[in-house]
């Protein structure tokens, strides 16, 4: 079980990770993102899942899987008692425009379209959209932009994500709302100060 990106500001990171890691391992999934955030006045723990080694974003992450993982994470977090306030748990897939975190992702999603936001410009551009063409022995990634390969130091990448492109001949089905493809949500109305749970 891996966690590609986490942002748990305000929580006891180790307790949260130790509570959910066995659940993810038991379900045979990796965590793309584990994020504690605000959403319209509510606190949300967002857990984004993927199948290990999958080269298609969201492949194999079904609504049933998300529901099962959500139920088990909810139980594990309640037992660990590591979140002391009301929150909503969201478990889902990364969707078609999955965020990319580091060299392993650039290597794994070779051949996919991606958008890279750079810290320092390359060829006068801070944002590049092209096709990932792997990672060289020197650890630098190649992005093909308009048939021109551009070599980029991963340390210069501020943010990156896959870009979904409609292709001719493919049906135009609707996409799920929000960043995640499939999601299961679970409310955790935790009331403290002697009022019980």
- Whether 117 is covered by a domain: the verdict is yes
Q: How many of the other CB atoms lie within 10 Å of CB of 110?
A: 15
**Same-domain check for residues 130 and 75:** no
Domain total of the chain: 2
- Whether 46 is covered by a domain: the verdict is yes
**Same-domain check for residues 60 and 91:** yes
- Whether 194 is covered by a domain: the verdict is no
Confidence (pTM): 0.79
Query: Which band of pLDDT confidence, cut at 50, 70 and 90, is reported for residue 14?
Result: very high
- pLDDT per residue as tens digits for the range 21-40: 999 999 999 999 999 999 98
- pLDDT per residue as tens digits for the range 80-114: 999 989 999 999 999 999 999 999 999 999 999 99
- Whether 172 is covered by a domain: the verdict is no
- Whether 71 is covered by a domain: the verdict is yes
Closest CA to 48 of 165, 186, 184: 184
Containing structural domain, residue 74: 3-95+179-188
């Amino acid at each position: 079980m891996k966690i590609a990106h986490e942002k748990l500001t305000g929580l006891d990171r180790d307790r949260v990770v130790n509570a959910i890691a066995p659940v993810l391992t038991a379900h045979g999934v990796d965590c793309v993102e584990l994020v504690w955030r605000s959403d319209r006045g509510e606190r949300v723990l967002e857990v984004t899942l993927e199948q290990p080694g999958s080269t298609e974003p969201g492949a194999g992450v079904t609504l049933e899987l998300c529901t099962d993982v959500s139920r088990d994470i909810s139980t594990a977090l309640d037992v660990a008692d590591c979140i002391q306030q009301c929150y909503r748990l969201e478990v889902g897939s990364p969707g078609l425009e999955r965020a990319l975190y580091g060299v392993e992702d650039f290597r794994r999603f070779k051949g996919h379209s991606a958008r890279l936001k750079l810290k320092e410009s390359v060829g006068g551009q801070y944002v590049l959209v092209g096709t990932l063409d792997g990672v060289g022995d020197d650890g630098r990634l190649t992005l093909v932009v308009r048939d021109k390969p551009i070599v980029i130091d991963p340390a210069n990448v501020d943010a990156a994500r896959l870009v979904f492109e409609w292709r001719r001949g493919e049906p135009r089905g609707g996409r799920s709302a929000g960043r995640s493809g499939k999601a299961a949500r679970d409310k955790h109305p935790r009331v403290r100060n002697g009022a019980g749970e």
